[in-house]
Chain A
Amino acid sequence: AHAALGSKRRKKNWMKLIYSSDLTPEQILRDGSTSPSGDNKMDEDEDDFFTIKSRGTAAAGDEELDMTKEKVDPKELKQWEDEELLDSIRGLFITGDSNA
């Protein structure tokens, strides 16, 4: 299980994803796993992505605005009610113990 977790957390190859792939920025951030297996297979998946997305935007009248602030995700903020998480970032402050 540990090994699987490790591979899941494998670092993205950001340069390859940004400069030599056709993935949209959102796709890069969502999964963007640079699986070394056949690129062709990836392409097929992408095609699926594109068709679904274009249908989606045509149907929904809601347009994606060009804005700097990102929508706040209430779930992401909710997690800060957890004491453990609150304590986990103490090390980033001068008052925190650096080797915690």
Chain B
Amino acid sequence: MAQPITVLNFSGHQFLRHRLVLSILSGKPVKIDKIRPDDKNPGLRDYEVSLLRLLERVTNGTVIEISVTGTAILLKPGVIAGGSVMHECPLSRSTGYFLEPIVMLAPFAKKPFNLTLRGITSDDRDLSADLIRTVTLPHLQLFGISEGLELRIKKRGSAPLGGGEVQFLCPIVKQVKTLNFVDPGKIKRIRGIAHAVRVSPQFSNRMIEAARSVLNRYIPDIYLYSDVYKGEDSGKSPGYALSLLAESTTGAIHSAETVSQPGVTPEDIALQASRALLSEIRRGGCVDHQHQVLVLLMMVLGSEDVGRCRMGEPTPRTIQFLRDAKQAFGTSFKIIPADQADPESSELLFSCYGTGYINTNRSLA
């Protein structure tokens, strides 16, 4: 007898992305209601519709139903197809909004992803193209996804008009490795990328100098790179940003980033980014806190063995993800203080038994 199809039920507009990802990976349909029912402008936003369109295009056989008012959706997942896709992102969100869920799906596609996204490449809401390239992709490598994994920033695009372009290449895997990452190590180097488009190129150097004034006290191995984009490649709007990452002796990466705001000097932007990096380093753990969800998802999908990872306190998104992942995959994590002896430490040890997820899309090919 066929197994009864369980439908994942969620409410609200929050956490849409990881819920859609969980549905597509688990093969269970997802029903989300109460999407901004009381709002002046109820229902899905343009970027959410755009994300659904993108998911429809990178999969095969996915059925998406949106209610007349747009306040409820039903997605019946198909197989993750991958391949070559071009997507124009609306200017209401950056390319990071769209890439984050795609990064979670891409390793399990039928064909390797070659996705081109156009739009805003850095903003203060989602991971910028720089962070995805230098932080997200290394986090995927922890799970044995590495050969041919790449994000190319072809053009930069700042808000509000964008005009940037990124190309995401991801290999496919049969299965992800179990993670065992419990030693955060010590920070051995700091790297950074400063970019400034359609403003004085001096802004990059000013940001680098200000960041050094905070970070130089800790470590000599600091290399902050000024990334120059000219003409067409610098998008349609002026803007600048500083992305910083700290790498530990065991390969743990922590990151922070600040994007230009009107009326704030490049020095202040750099100070904000540097201090946010210090806060992130102090949170501890083996993975960057913005990447907790990605790492936990891959742990759920890992081979049938116990995966362990030390992290700082979970973010609200992480907590919701843990709940939603339990609904989709039935996996719950064991969460205990990482340092039983040290009452000051807020670091936690997350462990779970992997579901042994196999990329069936690939073997069907």
Contacts and interface: CB of A to CB of B under 8 A. Distances in A.
Interface string A1-45: 000001001010011001100001110110000000000000000
B96 A68 contact: yes
A9 B275 contact: no
A66 B13 contact: yes
Contacts of A18: 314, 319, 322-323, 335
A52 interface: no
A58 B38 contact: yes
A49 interface: no
Contact of B279 (A68, A77, A94, A95): A77
Interface in A81-100: 86, 89-90, 92-96, 98
A92 to B, nearest CB: 6
B286 interface: no
A69 B127 contact: yes
Contacts of B348: 14
A66 B14 contact: yes
A77 B335 contact: no
Contacts of A25: 315-320
Interface stretch (B166-174, B196-204, B212-220, B355-363): B212-220
Contacts of B219: 93-95
B17 interface: yes
Contacts of B319: 18, 25, 28-29
B343 A6 contact: yes
A75 to B, nearest CB: 11
A57 B348 CA distance: 32
A66 B293 CA distance: 14
Interface residues of B, number: 56
Contacts of B271: 77
B217 A63 contact: no
Interface string B33-44: 000101110000
Contacts of A11: 337
Contacts of B272: 72, 77
Contacts of A9: 343-344
Contact of A80 (B39, B279, B314, B337): B279
B126 A67 contact: yes
B332 A19 contact: yes
Given A18-B335, A93-B186, A64 B278 contact: no
B230 interface: no
B314 A68 contact: no
Most B CB within 10 A of own CB, among A9, A15, A92: A92
A68 B127 contact: yes
B317 A96 contact: no
A96 B220 CA distance: 12
Given A90-B218, A93-B219, A95-B219, A72 B127 contact: no
A67 B316 contact: no
A69 B323 contact: no
Nearest to B344: A9
A83 to B, nearest CB: 10
B328 to A, nearest CB: 14
Contacts of A70: 290, 315
A9 B342 CA distance: 11
Nearest to A70: B315
B156 to A, nearest CB: 18
Nearest to B17: A66
A63 B284 CA distance: 31
B186 A92 contact: yes
Question: Which of A19, A57, A93 has the most CB atoms of chain B within a 10 A radius of its CB?
Answer: A93
A29 B313 contact: yes
29 contacts: A11-B337, A14-B314, A15-B333, A19-B323, A19-B332, A25-B320, A26-B316, A29-B313, A57-B38, A58-B38, A63-B39, A64-B14, A66-B13, A66-B15, A67-B97, A67-B126, A68-B97, A68-B125, A69-B124, A69-B127, A72-B258, A72-B272, A77-B275, A77-B279, A89-B281, A92-B282, A93-B188, A93-B218, A95-B219
Pairs of residues from A and B, 6 with the lowest C-beta to C-beta distance, nearest first:
A25-B316, A25-B319, A67-B125, A80-B275, A14-B335, A77-B275
